[in-house]
Amino acid sequence: MEPKRILEKPLKLAAVVTVIAGLAMAGSCGGKKQAPPQAAPEVATITVTTQKVELTSELPGRTVAYRTAEIRPQVGGIVQKRLFEEGSAVTAGQVLYQIDPATFQAALDNAKAALGRAEANLPAIRSRVERYKELLESRAVSRQDYDDASAAMQQAEADVNFYKAAVETARINLGYTRVSAPISGRIGRSEVTDGALVTAHQPMALSTIQQLDPIYIDVPQSTSELLALKARMKEGRLQSGANQRSVKLLLEDGSEHSREGTLQFQDVTVDPTTGSVTLRIVVPNPQGVLLPGMFVRAVIKEGVNGSAVLIPQQSVSRDPKGNPYAFLVDAAGKVEQRALVLDRAVGPKWLVSKGLSAGDNVVVEGMQKVRPGASVKVVPLGVETTN
């Protein structure tokens, strides 16, 4: 009986293992269920509308003095005194330097003496001519004597005029010893000191005066931008706006200048080195904030686009080549990829010139979850989307 029991135990163990394996297989087959269908991803969209937008261009520029006068002496001599404070405001006609006037005063006195001598001789010569004229009729003097007397009188009159001009010239030169300001403005440093020798019309300026109120701003604009602007005007995409010639200025620290400028003119010559034309702006500068040579940014009004299409910058993506595109959702809830042509950034939005029209629904949030042709669920903008 012992051998029979030993054989029965392995048979029972094998049967138990077979039953467990069958139950496991049956459980696994019976427990497998079909996965539920995936819900459509949620996206937030905006509906494209057209609006009226004033377009501007922000261009760099440099300030230039409204008027500049280099002070040079018109007579030579020794500078006796500088009569202004460097860096101060001066007015037209204010005396800036005094040149030693002694020699010029002597020249004026000499010219006046010569004029007096010529004028003293003239009455006697004139009287002689009048007497000779009366005697000529009675043939008491010859015709030659009368002609000589007339010639002498004309020469005396010419001498008087000559010395009058000499007196005026000497007076002008004496006045030039007081070097005065030709314009009002702010004067810079003096290049000479008291006791310096200066010459008439010397190449080195004694000092320079610059009128800073108002002040010019020269802004270069590329010819390509200028042609594009003219094209938009011609096509009717831009119309002239109100007060179009006014210009807003941004200083180097980013702050806005308190006064707006006025676009004065556009140069007619293109700079061959930069391919740009210069726009000149005149700006009031009563507080002297703007100084010559400063860099500023000018916000120039181009015109008004009456049917502009603006979309948030976050709704625009770019392909590997850098071309912009956006995702749109049609009436059936399908996603479409649309290529765009962008004009410029207007604040936090892109101005779209081609690719969109009023009524299009553009995806703003949830773009990373969609692909062209996929179905999506549209939710209000600002509501957090879910997968």
90: left (phi over 0), alpha (psi -120 to 50) or beta: beta
Residue 361: give its domain's CATH number.
2.40.420.20
Backbone φ, ψ for residue 296 (5° rounding): -135, 170
Q: What is the pLDDT confidence band of residue 321, given thresholds at 50, 70 and 90? A: very high
What is the predicted pLDDT for the residue at 337?
93
Dump pLDDT digits (tens) for 219-246. 998 888 888 777 777 766 666 666 778 8
Q: How far apart, in Å, are the Cα atoms of 166 and each of 102, 104, 105, 123, 163?
A: 17, 12, 13, 21, 5
Q: Is the peptide bond before 214 cis (omega within 30 degrees of 0)?
A: yes
What is the predicted pLDDT for the residue at 236?
66
Average pLDDT, stretch 359-364?
Answer: 92
Is the per-residue pLDDT at 264 higher than 50?
Answer: yes
Dump pLDDT digits (tens) for 98-108. 999 999 999 99
Looking at the fold, whether 261 and 318 belong to one and the same domain comes out as no
- Separation of alpha carbons 217 and 193, rounded Å: 34
Dump pLDDT digits (tens) for 116-162. 999 998 888 888 888 888 887 777 788 888 888 889 889 999 999 99
When divided into structural domains, the chain yields a total of: 3
| Vertex 47 angle, CA 43 and 52, to 5° | 145
Domain residues for 374? Answer: 43-54+308-379
The answer to whether 246 and 262 are in contact (CB under 8 A) is yes
Looking at the fold, whether 268 and 327 belong to one and the same domain comes out as no
What is the predicted pLDDT for the residue at 111?
95
The answer to whether 370 and 376 are in contact (CB under 8 A) is yes
What is the predicted pLDDT for the residue at 324?
95
Dump pLDDT digits (tens) for 11-51. 444 444 444 444 444 444 444 455 555 678 888 999 999 98
- Separation of alpha carbons 236 and 132, rounded Å: 90
Is the per-residue pLDDT at 182 higher than 90?
Answer: yes
- Separation of alpha carbons 89 and 364, rounded Å: 58
Dump pLDDT digits (tens) for 276-286. 989 899 999 99
- Long-range residue pairs from 154-162, CB within 8 A, at least 24 positions apart, any chain: 156/118, 156/121, 156/122, 156/125, 156/126, 157/122, 159/118, 159/121, 160/115, 160/118, 160/119, 160/122, 162/118
Looking at the fold, whether 124 and 183 belong to one and the same domain comes out as yes
The answer to whether 213 and 259 are in contact (CB under 8 A) is no
Looking at the fold, whether 123 and 238 belong to one and the same domain comes out as no
